Amino acid sequence: MGEVVGRVVEINRYPVKSMAADPVTQADIDWQGIEGDRQYAFYRSEDRSRFPWMTARELPEMVRFAPRYRDPEDPKMSPVDVRDAEGRWSSLHDVAFLDRLALTAGCPLGLMQLGRGTHDAMPVSVVTTTTHAAVDAAHGSAVDPRRFRSNIVVEADVREDRWAGRRLGFGGWDDAAELLVTEMIPRCAFVTLCPDSGARDPAIMRTVAQAFDNKIGIYATAARQGRVRLGDKVMLLG
């Protein structure tokens, strides 16, 4: 069974890159990460670079949109609806919605669905509650954990860096997923954005850089396909 090191207290998928999380009570993890995570992304249609994605780093308003799958159990095929900051819903595929974003961005945009996810690096991110508490202490006030956009939050007594190079198991069920934990996540200016307003606070970046060597959370990838559930015990397997 392995050593129990914590329990799962939060599972997040992000249907649209740079938009708000879609918290779930359970999620399937395959070789591409959490099913439905970062499946859609907006891109600059005239950009021919290696990173054409339009993200909240350039368009902070994006963090204020909350996407949801109409059929949460089938994200690959489900349409997506988006709630804006005023509480209005529209289809992600609505041309008017795309035009609104493009007008704000100041450049033509396109929308892409990519089944394997539009991840910047590795497909799954994990963080512990101990790390979030350490960030609060270093900053001198509470820092909204949504700034770090983690997929799995584990209630644990240690920081997640202790698990680098190890495998994590969840729940001990026959269908439980396993993750290979790899390296700490270097952070960018995204953490300066308030998840509710999109306003920037550079002091958050300074805290992360000075107190944590600019690394919060840890990357992971599937070691075994399966499911993770809220409340699952988290086990260090090897």
In angstroms, rounded to a whole number, what is the distance separating the alpha carbons of residues 43 and 14? Answer: 16
16-36 pLDDT, tens digit per residue, is 999 999 999 999 999 999 999
CA distances from 40 to 109, 196, 237 (A): 13, 21, 33
pLDDT of residue 218: 98
| Domains detected in the chain | 3-236 (2.40.33.20)
Task: Return phi, psi of residue 82, to 5°.
Answer: -130, 130
In the three-class reduction of DSSP (H, G, I as helix; E, B as strand; rest coil), residue 235 is classed as strand
**How high is the pLDDT of residue 3?**
94
Q: What CA–CA distances, in Å, run from 219 to 60, 149, 179?
A: 24, 12, 10
Rounded (10°) angle between helices 202-212 and 129-139: 110
The per-residue pLDDT for 231 is: 98
Per-residue pLDDT at 238: 78
Determine the pLDDT at residue 41.
97
Low-confidence ranges of the chain (pLDDT < 70): none
